[in-house]
Every structure is written in C-alpha cells, then in structure tokens.
A and B are shown apart, each in its own frame.
With several copies, the nearest count.
Chain A
Amino acid sequence: MVIESMERNPEISIRLFSDPHLLSTIRSTVEGLAKVVGFSEKSRGLLMLAIDEALANVIRHGYDGRTDEMIWVHLWRVREPRGIRIIIEDLGRSVAPEKIKGRDLSDVKPGGLGVHIIKETMNESCWEQRPEGGMRLTLVKWLSPEELQNVTPTKPENTFP
C-alpha cells in the first residue's frame, strides 16, 4: 500500500525559482538521492549534468532567462528496475516535443549540447506539452548491472556473520 502510493506521489517534490544560482543546489539534491539508490560516482556526475542541462533549458528557452518564474522538480526512487525518476515541470513557453533535439556533434561549435547530454545519460527522457501550459520532462535512469551488483543486499545483517 505504502509502496504503491509512493510510486504515485513523488517522494520529494521541489519548487524553485528559475534562478541559475539555484541549479547547483538542485544538482546536490539529485546527487544525494542517487547515492541512496546506489548509483556510482560516475553515474551521479552524469545525473547531475542531465538535471542541470534540463533546468538550464527551462530557464533559457522556457522562460527566456527570467529568474522569477517557477520550476517544479519531482523525485522518486524506483524499485523495479532499481533507479531514479525525475519529472521537471514549468509554465513557460510550450514547444512541440519533436522540436527538442540534440544537434549533430560532428559539427564542433559552442552550444546545442544539453539535449544530447540528457538523452545520452538517461534511459528515458520524454518531453510533453502540459495541458495547463508549459512543458513536462520525464527522466528515468536505472542502475547498471554493475551498480546493481555493488548494492548492499536487502538484509544488511547478512553482511555480518
């Protein structure tokens, strides 16, 4: 019962202002939850990058750089397969999801890397237009088989003979 409802209600919900100076704090939050779930240091670094790029895009493209708008970030630990789910919502400009795409990396130039980083890092990344206006981005990342192996067994007392 509890588990089911946790799957529906975010375990942690954050509302923040669209201020770039707050992004490092949200990165820390995601890093923290990813550590609890059992992600390796490398995966946690990539997760920080993905959430950072997603939030920077909301500020830059959704809100045209305005710093006094609202962003919502919802976080879940996911059980099967073990991992993390992140939903980012805004009330900014709403664009057709097919317009959000990473650029061809063979053309070396500054900019246009965020969406590429997000898609490369996450197992799922899905942009939607919200009926209320703004965008919703759903991100999912699972533990790798190696990370799963390093995770402590469910009963910690087993490690103690």
Chain B
Amino acid sequence: MNQELVIEQKIIGDMIVLRPAGDIDMARSSAIRKAVTEVVRTRPAKLVIDLTAVDYMDSSGIATMIEALQSSMRNKMKFVLVGVGPKVRSAFEITKLVGMFTICDTVEEAAK
C-alpha cells in the first residue's frame, strides 16, 4: 500500500554505489540498512552511498549511515557519501556528525 524506497545498485570497478530514491525515515531506513549489509558481505574496496535522490533523512537514516561507516571500517573498506543535499546536510550538522564522513559532490569524484 506504500511506495517503498527504491535502491539502485551499480558496480564500478571495485566500488559499489547504492542509490536510494525517496525519503529515508523510520518507515524506510530498514531497506537501506539491508542493502548495505548485503554489499558489505561482498567486500568491495569502496562503498558509495549516493544521496542525490534523497530529499530527507531522519535520525534512523543517520544511524544507518553510521552503521555503514563502522562496518566499512571493520572490513577495511572505504565509505563515501555523495550528493548530500541541504536538508540531509542539516540533519548531519545538527547531530554534529558531518565531520565523521567523507563527502563528495559526485560519484566520479568519489571514485578517485
């Protein structure tokens, strides 16, 4: 009955890009959490989450990003956020977490 989060996955060399589209909130963060877990299992060198199509993220989304960062570190993978719009950025800022993450403007930049 509800439009769920659509998550595209792209493999570029040894990097995997996840591109969720829609708001990431309590009802939808489990979808991205599940996707991250699957990707980490395959141990790419780099995990990129492209948030270009995410207009809104709440603390459950931020928690998922922290989990993704931490499990990337445990698995010696690089973790990069891309396409962080103003609303999502201010959610990271208000939780004083913006400095924790590597943030790039584009996927191309993240690939470097």
Contacts and interface: CB of A to CB of B under 8 A. Distances in A.
Interface of A: 19-21, 23-24, 27, 35-38, 41-42, 45-46, 48-49, 52-53, 56, 59-60, 77, 79, 82, 105, 108-111, 113-114, 116-117, 120-121, 151-152, 156-157, 159-161
A48 B87 CA distance: 10
B6 A105 contact: no
B86 A42 contact: yes
Interface residues of B, number: 35
A37 B2 contact: yes
B90 A45 contact: yes
B44 to A, nearest CB: 15
A7 to B, nearest CB: 11
Contact of B62 (A35, A45, A113): A113
A109 B59 CA distance: 11
B53 interface: no
Interface string B1-32: 11111110100000000000001011100010
Contacts of A114: 59
Interface string B65-95: 0110010000000000000001100110011
